[in-house]
Amino acid sequence: MEPDADIGHVSDFYFEDQHWVVRYVVVKTGSWLMGRSVLLSPHAFNNFHEEGNRHLVNLTRKQIENSPGIETHKPISRQYENECFRYYGWPPYWEGGEMWGPGGFAMDQPPHFEPSEQSTLSSGVHHGDDPHLRSAKALRRYQIQSSEGKIGHLTDLLMDDKTWMIQQMVVETGHWYCGKEILISTSHVERIDYCKSKVFVTLTKKAISTAEGVIACK
């Protein structure tokens, strides 16, 4: 990144609900790009750590300014992903059957960028939306449901900043557990019903109350 060149602020994450891995950081740009939202792959970060109150990326403003546009209120299409990864020179994670595709883990190798001043990236209608890419922000307030009924609602997701894996859900319980805030591993998620805004887990209320597989935060 250019020294002291602010790009914007993180507004959301898109994660893949099959593996619970973050695929994109949604960045809301400032006035320099008229508040446009851009998607950045984990490949754009050498390490997802803060220096002060900043996350550092290995891209310039010019690269981001010329990148494919995205409408964050619409599903992300595979066509858009192909355009974006081709533009930046990132290895596509959806090829090869591994978690991060043929290029390996996002932090293993620096991204390769070739300027594309005369790129013919399409800005038209995108087809083939990936149903497994979901907004982390949209998942907040979803009900957490067990076979016994409602456990509480999701308030946050915790990501490992080295693997980009979402490992735990922060859940605010109801009166049955004194409204405590607990952590539930994503390994306990059975399925997500996006139509009903519910996350179904394999844990029982007894398992939670006896601290089996969960951590009570307060």
For the segment 23-54, what is each residue's pLDDT rounded down to a tens digit? Answer: 999 999 988 888 889 999 999 986 666 666 77
Question: Do 57 and 42 contact (CB within 8 A), yes or no?
Answer: no
pLDDT higher for 217 or 96?
A: 96
Distance CA 97, CA 74 (A): 26
Residues 117 and 149 in one domain: no
Exposed/middle/buried for 139, CB within 10 Å: 0-12, 13-18, 19+?
Answer: buried
Range of the domain at 87: 8-134
Place of tokens 């494919």: 68
Residues 77 and 125 in one domain: yes
Give me 141's structure tokens: 């307030």
> pLDDT band at residue 125, thresholds of 50, 70 and 90?
very low
Which of 83-97, 104-118, 164-178 shows the lowest per-residue confidence on average (mean pLDDT)?
A: 104-118
> pLDDT band at residue 119, thresholds of 50, 70 and 90?
very low
Q: Specify the pTM.
A: 0.81
Residue at which a domain ends, from 112, 134, 156: 134
Give me 160's structure tokens: 């490992």
Beta pairing partners, 201: 189
Domain count, the chain: 2
**Number of neighbours of residue 174 by Cβ within 10 angstroms:** 15
Q: What's the CATH number where 171 sits?
A: 2.30.30.240
Q: Specify if 3 maps to a domain.
A: no
